[in-house]
Structures are given as C-alpha cells and as structure tokens.
Structure 1
Amino acid sequence: MTLKRLVAALMTALLAGCGPAATAAPGAPPPGRPAPVAAYAVGVRTLTVDPASARPLPVTIWYPAEGEAVAAGRFPVVVYSHGLHSLPELHAGLTTRWAAAGFVVAAPTYPRTRRGAPRFDRADVRHQPADGWRVIRHLTRLDARAGDPFAGHLDVARFAAAGHSAGGFTTAGMFASGRSGRLRAGIVIAGGGMAGSFAAPAAPVLFVHGTADRIVPVTVGRAAYQRATGPAAFLSLLGQGHGEYLTPGRPGFEQVLATTTDFLRWTLYGDPEAGRRLPGDARSPGVTTFENRLAH
C-alpha cells in the first residue's frame, strides 16, 4: 500500500452477497452471477509491471475494500487507459466509482504518452494495446500467487478494457485477432479504432463521445462504431467536447456513469437487468442520445 492506501469510502460497504464465482475456461462465457447492490469503500494499490524491463509499466489499481484489505469475493477487472498528457489519477472521478460498484480497475501509466514523460511520443500509442495485455497477464498471475493481497479476489475470466482519447484508441487496439477470450467488453471514450480493432471473437463495445469534440471528432468515434462487428452502442453527449462529461457534477456525467456501470454489470457479471436499464441510463433530453445495437 502507498500513501494512497485507502480512497475515502464512496458509501459504507454493505455488500454481503458477492461470493466467489466459478471460474470458466478463458474461451467460454462464464456463468452470470448477481452484481453488487450496494457500494463498497475503495482502496488503492500501486505496482509496476516488468520493473526490470526496457518498458516498465506503473499501474494504479482501485479495488472494492474492507478496511485496507480487498473485500471478500472475486471481482471482474477493468483495464483503464489514459489519454495523451494524462495520468490515471486524473480519471479517478469515474474509476473510483466503478470500483465502488464492484470492479477492480487497473490503470497503467504509459511511459511515453503520460503527463511529464521525459520522451513524449504520441506515436507510442501503437504499443499501448500490448501494454494493456501485459497488465491482464500480470493480474492473472497475482490472482494465483499465494500471499498476494489480490490472490483469490480477481475474476480472471472477466476482463474489460476502457479508456479515454488515446486510451480509447488503445482500448480498441486490444480487441485484435487472436486475443484471449478473457477480454469480454470494451468502452471507448472520445476515441476510435486502430488497425485490426474489433476482430473476432466479437465482444460488446460501448462508445461514448461528445458531439462537439474538436480533438477527436465524433465522426472518428462513429466510424469505429460502424466497424464494430459485435454488439455495440453509442452514447452521444450533445454539444460537448473532449471529456468534460467525465467530471463529477458536469452535465452528462450522471448518464456516463450510469451507462458505463450498467454496461460493465451486464457484460462482466452477466446481469440481464443491468442490460435492460441501459437505454434509460443513457437518455436525457437535451443532454444525451443513445444508439443501441446491444442484444440483452
């Protein structure tokens, strides 16, 4: 644990019914199970993947907590990717709320696109999908490592990838041909596709985009949405730019939080009620619109 040991509780942890899940083979859909119905306190852990390599990868991990420990049960995992000149902690308004809802959220700090990178290189985004997969493999090992705080708490059959801006492109790039079936869903925020994105096997993808985005135009996100071969949905933030809707209290944040959280509940917990709530979560007259090609 670091000085960020424990993010203040978003609400008192009341959850009692999130027991261990049966682990399915990576290529087979795991059985559904009840999603949490009350919020957890949130803890935070930092670690470095491959610290002795040429490309060490610091990772910030938010998790459902009881005291300083991981809460009882197994939790699906979301790999969250930041954008250019950003950092994981700048996205904590969203990621901590996902953790409170019953997900482990692992956010890598990318070495050449992060804020303050000594050798900033936007072209390095093409290497970041592989970094995301390194995080998945590392967490899978930690779940099986006796004595690790995460051992037995990570549902390694249920990963999702999510990210904003360049992190959205990174997320799309993780859905390339030949990937592990552990990666079951994606959320692309103010991003678009990469070469080879959305290859089989198809996985549900939620796109989130401001219609007045001048950095990554909404047409880029919509083109990726049209390319997605599996179930997909598109949440538009009307008149908004590149990400102000990710800030708590700003217009659209409530809809983004509800839609992304229920999308993760549906895809990672197999919660059909969450899937049915998505259109209602997403739509707010004058604030959002929602296009839905999801099957639930």
Structure 2
Amino acid sequence: MPRRTHLILIVLLALTAACSPGDQPADGPTDPPTRATSAPVAPSSAPALPDKSDAPRRAPAETLPITTRELDLQRGKDRPLPTTVWYPTSGEKPFPLIVFSHGLTSEPEAYATILRAWAKAGFVVAAPAFPHTRYRARDYDPLDVINQPADVSEVITRMLAYGKEHGDLIDPARIAAAGHSAGGITTVGLFSGTRDARLVAGVVLSGRQVLPVPFQGRAAPMLFVHGKLDKTVPYADGKAAYDAVRWPKALLTVTEGGHVALTKDFAPVIATTTDFLRYTLYGDATARGRLKRDATKGGLATLTDKL
C-alpha cells in the first residue's frame, strides 16, 4: 500500500471508530426545504478565478429572514451531491458564499443551527451531502474524503451558476469554505493540495491536516476551532494545522469542548465564526472589533488572534 494512502487510511479509520450516527448533532432546519426547479447546471472543467465585484460590501445591520432550498447537484456521472442551501430573502445582493463540508456519517441538516446563523448574518450557505461519507451512505468509504475537495469545488461552480440564475444572488469574489471533522480535513485540502483559487477565507472546525502538504496559493484568512477535550481529532492535531498556516489566522480553543458539541447551539463558536466571516467576506470592522470579546465571553474559550 502506498505511504500516502496508508497515512490517509490510519487517520480516517480513527475518525470512523470515534464517529457514529448517534454521535452527530440532532439539530435540523426549522423550515421545510423546497426542491429547486432550475435546470441542472453543466459542470465546468476548471474553476474560474474570482471576478472583481463592484457590489456593496456592507454587512447587514440586522438579522435577515432566510429560506432553504435543496439542489440536485453532482460531479460527473457517479458523484451525486445533493446540496442544502440556506440564503437570505432580503438585504443587498449579491451575498458572499460559504460552502460547508460535513463530517463522517453525518449530513448537512446535522449542522443546521450554525449554518442558519450564518445565513441570517448575510451569507448564502451551501452544504453538500457527500456520496460515500454521509449518514446512511449506501457505499460508505472513509477514504473517499480524499475526493471531497474536488466535490466542493464543483459545488462552488454550480452555486455561482445558480446565483446568476437567481438575480445575481452570489458574489463570485467573496467565497469561503468551512467544515467539521472530516469536513475540516476536506476544507484544509481546499487550501493546500487541491487549492481552489476562488476561496478567500476558511473555517476549520475540529479538523486537521492528513498530509504534510503546504497551504498554498494567495493568502486567505483562516479560523480554526478546536476543543481541548476532543478525543476524535486531538487538539494537538488541530493546533498543528493552525501552526502550518502562514497567512492571517486565528484559533478558537474551547476549554471543555469535545468533538461534536462545537457544532451545536454553542454561543462562542456561533458568534466567533460569524464575526470572522463578516470581517473576512464583508470587511466588517465592527465584527473584527468584537471578535475577541465574543470568543471569550463566559470564560468558555480562548482566542489566539493573528488576523
């Protein structure tokens, strides 16, 4: 077995042993999703670089109403990527896009609490269900995580086309990737070995690097979130990934946090990630100013800030 595959297998099997459907958050979207009626968007062979946007970049001053859609996306003929999308129904378009990757044996709905919070703060949030690592996958294969960065890139391409069809909903110059656990590994891959040049920011929740591939491409601010008591992906592994980034970055350490609880209705994580995304994708100086206060409120977490 090649060393590369062997290393990936060790890490992902460790994740598999620690994760089960019963471990996943029970949160789900309050609003029933509706099936999109737009025609399928043709895949593109290579991602386009971000376009310069002259759209207003002011962050919404209030919480926005949102809606939910389910899109039947896919990459190629054998990688279905059903994608749940949350987005504002009012406010100034176009909005920044966040693509979120779930963990092993999980699904987008499990993260609805935090993803809905981001949408209400002024973002389009797209969360694909990966074909071989999702909850109740017919052909479950943890090694398939290595293919997921390309899936995310395809979802970005499809979402940009969807945005054009719906009144310039999405700003192609303001795109971020985020993910939890194996989805955090997927997100790290999007900034390293399978760099998507369209990404300008990233959020890694309870994730790590699988391979020692340098973060590359243009600088993109990144926020890492990790629980000190995480037994699935040790805190030291998440810290090592954070240390490897040479761009502006921050690390939110949840003192008593485990692996899954961070994705539930946990105020410091929701507030800090939202502040970070508003700062990096909207240039919201107010959000930047309250980042440390929100991170450390209640004494539940600490913030290392090098943004």
TM-score class, shorter: 0.7 to 0.9
Aligned residues: 263
Pick the structure with more helix per residue.
2
2:267 to 254, 259, 264: 254
- The within-5 A match list for 1:106-255 is 106-144=126-164, 148=165, 150-176=166-192, 179-195=195-211, 196=213, 198-248=215-265, 253-255=266-268
Aligned partner letter, 2:223: L
Aligned partner letter, 2:274: T
Q: Which SS does the other structure have where 2:99 is aligned?
A: strand
Question: How many Å separate the matches in 1 of 2:226 and 2:294?
Answer: 16
Aligned partner letter, 1:212: L
Q: Which SS does the other structure have where 1:235 is aligned?
A: strand
- For the Cα contact (< 8 Å) 2:86–2:119, is it kept in 1? yes
Q: Which SS does the other structure have where 2:96 is aligned?
A: strand
Q: Which SS does the other structure have where 1:50 is aligned?
A: strand
> Which of 75-84 and 200-209 deviates more?
200-209
- For the Cα contact (< 8 Å) 1:172–1:197, is it kept in 2? no
- The within-5 A match list for 1:56-95 is 56-66=80-90, 73-95=93-115
Structure-2 change in CA distance of 1:120 and 1:172 (3 Å): same
Q: Which SS does the other structure have where 2:188 is aligned?
A: helix
Shift of 1:117: 0.4
Query: Could you tell me the TM-score, scaled by structure 1's length?
Result: 0.83
Shift of 1:28: 6.2
Structure-2 change in CA distance of 1:213 and 1:73 (3 Å): same
Q: Which SS does the other structure have where 1:208 is aligned?
A: strand
Question: How many Å separate the matches in 2 of 1:82 and 1:31?
Answer: 30
Cα RMSD (Å) of the superposition?
2.2
Larger relative contact order (Cα-Cα within 8 Å, sequence gap ≥ 6):
2
Q: Which SS does the other structure have where 1:45 is aligned?
A: strand
- For the Cα contact (< 8 Å) 1:262–1:274, is it kept in 2? yes
Question: How many Å separate the matches in 2 of 1:266 and 1:44?
Answer: 24
Structure-2 change in CA distance of 1:185 and 1:90 (3 Å): same
Shift of 1:72: 5.1
Aligned partner letter, 1:215: T
2:123 to 77, 99, 103: 103
Q: Which SS does the other structure have where 1:170 is aligned?
A: helix
In structure 2, the gaps of 5 or more residues are 1-30, 36-48
Question: How many Å separate the matches in 2 of 1:165 and 1:152?
Answer: 32
Is 1:275 equivalent to 2:288 in the alignment?
Answer: yes
- For the Cα contact (< 8 Å) 2:226–2:253, is it kept in 1? yes
Question: How many Å separate the matches in 2 of 1:172 and 1:32?
Answer: 29
